[in-house]
Chain A
Amino acid sequence: MYKIIEKQIFSEVTKLLSVYAPKIAKSCRPGQFVMIRIDEKGERIPLTIADFDPEKGTISLVFQEIGKSTQQLGALEQGEFIKDVAGPLGHPTHIFDSGTVILVGGGVGVAPIYPIAREFKKAGCNVIGIIGARNKELLFWEEKMSAACNSLYITTDDGSYVRKGFVTDVMKELIEEIGKENIALIMAIGPQPMMRACCNLSKGYEIRTLVSLNALMVDGTGMCGCCRVSVGGSTKFVCVDGPEFDGHQVDWLELYRRSTYFCDEEKSAKDIYNSEKGNHACGCGGIQ
């Protein structure tokens, strides 16, 4: 059992749970994820580690309530428990120490991009952050990101905060301004359409671009192959070969189709959960 030490509510659907898992907090690196199971009958779901504190022995998980499991997770309070947390899983981000890196976080993707930004800056890189959300309400960690980056840009789809538009708008301008030869790496983490858009843009400039993929998983340890994805024409397991891949090589259509294969089942589980709980459907849209 893993105790929830702290809960933060970023928006109606975006929440943070800080969980006591001292061994994971000690061994994890930016870019890795955990598999959690809320209770005895729960499914195993992957969540990227948003932050970790080896001193306190905690890891932070930021998630958006999309389906039954994430809604159930969001309903847990400080002092309650998550049955299983396994990790850290996947390869950590490869951190290097010089040059300019552009780190793009969209939606809840801001959470996993944060520790990566912090490490790159600590290592000596010039870190440019771009974070975006649909609206002001869904944006979080501006201050933390500001501290972790040398410069930070913000967009909202509806213009309710700072600049109206998409992260790719800022990204394009920055590439033009800095020059593609001066950018060592772009990393994009967020919903699939956003990562795909970033990759489409950077591909034209031939700038190396990494993405952190959010495939469906069952065990998360390389055992089932549910998370397989075609990268550069060969099959990779997101859980053990990733989660980060060269975004220019990813077969995005295949990833999208595989990610949404259980949509009907997810919807029915959510409907049952909400009717049992008397909740309103949250209207947050399907899987991204």
Chain B
Amino acid sequence: MTEKKKTGIKIIPSKNPMPLQDHKLRASNFDEVALGYDYETAVAEASRCLQCKNAPCSRGCPVEIDIPEFLRLAALGNFKAAISKIKEKNTLPGVCGRVCPQESQCEKDCTLGIKHQPVSIGRVERFCADFELADKEDKITNKLIPPSSGYKVAIVGSGPAGLTCAADLAKEGHRVTVFEALHVAGGVLMYGIPEFRLPKGIVEAEVKNVVDLGVEIELNSVVGRLVTIDQLLDEEGYNAVFIGTGAGLPYFMGIPGENLCGVYSANEFLTRTNLMKAYLFPQWDTPIKIGKRVVVLGGGNVAMDAARTALRLGAEESIIVYRRSEKELPARAEEVEHAYEEGVKFYYLTNPVKLLGDEDGIVSGMECLKYELGEPDATGRRSPIAVKGSEHIIEADTIVVAIGQGPNELVPMTTKGLETNKKGNIIADPETGATSRPGVFAGGDVVTGAATVILAMGAGKLGAKSIHEYLLNSKIDKPLGREGN
């Protein structure tokens, strides 16, 4: 496409819709649901941008992408330049274009959105990223790796926070090693978010981009057991550490029956399916067992992922049981909508008090109460109050508990002088990511509790900036010498 000069502002009120896989068809396969814009649609959508000078969209972006500029380039059909612009700030554009909650971030403050629909920034971002990935012949190379700073940094966890931090530090010339406990890099992007929402090929490609910056990733490396942070700093010559271990510890409700067979944490249910590819059993070795009627407890994105996964694994019925009402669902509106379309049922204002099992210890259902909404609680959501005498039974063959995750305590437990709060989250300065231990920084879900991919990336970015400043301002010896190696 040739360059098209903008002659005046033309308002196009509506977003270009995202083409989707047919909802009946997609509920039985693991292929990506959102098919992505084509070239013309991406140009058309990018052209809707008003090019506001104050760029309220960029201020809503946790990694501060220059959104008007990348949209301007995309509107010109110059997607190579557009992706380069995005990558100045964002290491994982293919991921973010798919899973960011744009409606509450960049698109929330879009000027066009005041009277009309905002620009679909995420969809254009996704197109730019996919455009680059598809363009194997003329691969856009990352900026040249700068000369070595002589410093070594260890990153614990290769999820969105760790990868972002690693990429930014590598771009500053630091020698970065990422320690990942699992056998693949990507953290929650690999084990948690399903293939149909975020194809694993996209994650692998974007992880490779980080590796291409010179970052080393050590898989199967459980920090706290294989090596401690103290050892990394005191014995292995690392000058700083960033902890981005996420929120990997599944919460249970603490009600009777939760250890019955057929009750999974959402983490187990999703890890078996996504990371271990249980949907391809027996070609792949990890099994998953699922009954005709699957009940998912919880109302967040993870609950939506689990309920939609259950359908794809062959459940006849997949039901979300949530103790508040539809309005309070913490999941993204789009995820809820997709779940509805695919046939997921929603039982609102309902919560179990006890899970029930058969004589062999296999789950058969749950005893529930109905709830009504009372006054708003600390989170601003109206808190549910049990209705007396509303006991009833919901039958289920499989129950997935998706009520949230907390931090894994292994790293805090094995690191001297690392302070945590009551929930076990690492305490880090919100301005810098610095922890109570000098030279150790932290960010992402391990600090904030379970949140979003992009917030974790923002924290990784902040951590990288702080570590860079810490290294330059400190008088510590450079283990790699002036030139490094």
Contact residues of A with B, CB < 8 Å?
23-24, 27, 32, 37, 41-44, 68-69, 83-89, 218-219, 221-226, 228-230, 235, 240, 251, 253-254, 257-258, 261-262, 265-266, 268-269, 272
Contacts and interface: CB of A to CB of B under 8 A. Distances in A.
A84 to B, nearest CB: 4
B470 interface: no
Interface residues of B, number: 43
Interface string B244-278: 00001110100000110110110110011001110
Interface string B338-352: 000000000000000
B410 interface: yes
Name the residue in A225, A240, A269 with the highest tally of chain B Cβ atoms < 10 Å from its Cβ: A225
A222 B408 contact: yes
B37 interface: no
A223 B268 CA distance: 8
Interface of B: 181-183, 191, 219-222, 225-227, 248-250, 252, 258-259, 261-262, 264-265, 267-268, 271-272, 275-277, 280-287, 289, 360-362, 408-410
A225 B252 contact: yes
A221 B289 contact: no
Contacts, number: 122
A254 B361 contact: yes
B225 A253 contact: no
A180 B138 CA distance: 76
A222 B407 CA distance: 10
Given A261-B261, A262-B287, A272-B282, 19 more contacts: A23-B226, A24-B226, A27-B227, A44-B276, A68-B285, A86-B220, A86-B222, A89-B222, A218-B272, A218-B276, A223-B248, A225-B265, A225-B268, A258-B361, A261-B289, A261-B362, A268-B282, A269-B281, A269-B282
Nearest to B183: A84
B282 A223 contact: no
Contacts of B225: 27, 32, 87-89
Contact of A257 (B220, B287, B360): B360
A269 B259 contact: no
Contacts of A257: 261, 360-362
Contacts of B275: 219
A207 B182 CA distance: 39
A120 B281 CA distance: 43
A136 B222 CA distance: 39
A258 B261 contact: yes
14 contacts: A24-B226, A32-B225, A41-B285, A42-B285, A43-B276, A43-B286, A89-B225, A218-B268, A218-B276, A223-B248, A223-B250, A224-B268, A230-B259, A261-B362
